[in-house]
Amino acid sequence: MTVRPAPDFLPLRPNRPTDARPIVVSGATGFIGRHVVPLLLDRGYAVVALGRSKEKARQHAWYKHVDFHEIDLLGNSSGFMPLPGSRLMHLAWSDLTDFRSLSHLETSLPSNYRFIKHMVEHGVQTVLVAGTCLEYGHLCGPIRPETDPQPVLPYAAAKNMLHQQLQHLQHQQNFLLKWVRLFYMYGSGQNPRSVLAQLDAAIDRGDSTFRMSGGEQLRDYLPVEDVAAGLVKQLESPGQGPSHVCSSTPISIRRLVEERIRQHGVKMELELGYYPYPDYEPMAFWGANNKE
């Protein structure tokens, strides 16, 4: 596995054509959104970026190149109107530090559905939503997009229910729905509780040991820059339905950590088995695509 430095942004087109394709990106300042926005700008899109904090958005070099709106989807976002013919890349979600929170079902699910429904009722023709590999629950081995989800967590159940609601909405509103399930990722802006973020923090502190699980889980990991590029590719691909952005190559968490330590050129002992394995994930699962 090669870990590449995460640039703050890719080269942007200084002068977008007046006929630039309009696209709305929700969650633009989130872990994935901040990497997606510059890719869309570089491809000539007129980006309308949505986020909860204008101050946070201003920290990104792409801020002056987009039309930014400060919107909290958990509140009332019905006043926002998309440009005619816009696409929507929906990356927003709340409480991502607690997958077990009932807020995913009780608050995030209805607010996200209400927002997307509002968007398609006002002219959005293509909707891409970021799903999650956790929708598959305890299924093991290589998993293809057509596999039926079996979510066990409130977060995953809420995502799966949103997918089903939007499929029903298609019977009343004419729009394309691309449901893209994401696997694991790492890079600039990642959740500080993720294993690599905790490892990086331990390295920065100069810790001599790193506590972790047994590390034998097999997972599917990609740099967040590759995930962002995969989402843009899915946006521009023909057709609709569920798909994956994944590496299709499993790697053990222990190997992932060991390679990270080696790349940093430090000496650190692993305290394996300190934490139990998560009870909401199988020991081995990774993404596969329909063509594989």
Query: pLDDT value at position 16?
Result: 46
Q: pLDDT digits over 217-227, tens only?
A: 999 999 999 99
Share the mean pLDDT of the chain.
91
Q: How confident is the model at residue 5 (pLDDT cuts 50, 70, 90)?
A: very low
Q: pLDDT digits over 246-285, tens only?
A: 999 999 999 999 999 999 999 999 999 999 999 899 999 9
Query: pLDDT value at position 6?
Result: 37
Q: What is the pTM of this model?
A: 0.89
Q: pLDDT digits over 88-142, tens only?
A: 999 999 989 899 999 999 999 999 999 999 999 999 999 999 999 999 999 999 9
Record the tokens describing residue 209, joined without a space.
Answer: 């040991």
Query: pLDDT value at position 291?
Result: 55
Q: pLDDT digits over 75-88, tens only?
A: 777 789 998 899 99
Query: pLDDT value at position 55?
Result: 95
Q: pLDDT digits over 186-219, tens only?
A: 998 888 889 999 999 999 999 999 999 999 999 9
Query: pLDDT value at position 19?
Result: 63
Query: pLDDT value at position 290?
Result: 58
- C-alpha 100/C-alpha 134 separation (Å) is 12
- Indicate whether 2 pLDDT > 70: no
Contacts of 279 (CB under 8 A, 6+ apart): none
Q: pLDDT digits over 132-175, tens only?
A: 999 999 999 999 999 999 999 999 999 999 999 999 999 999 99
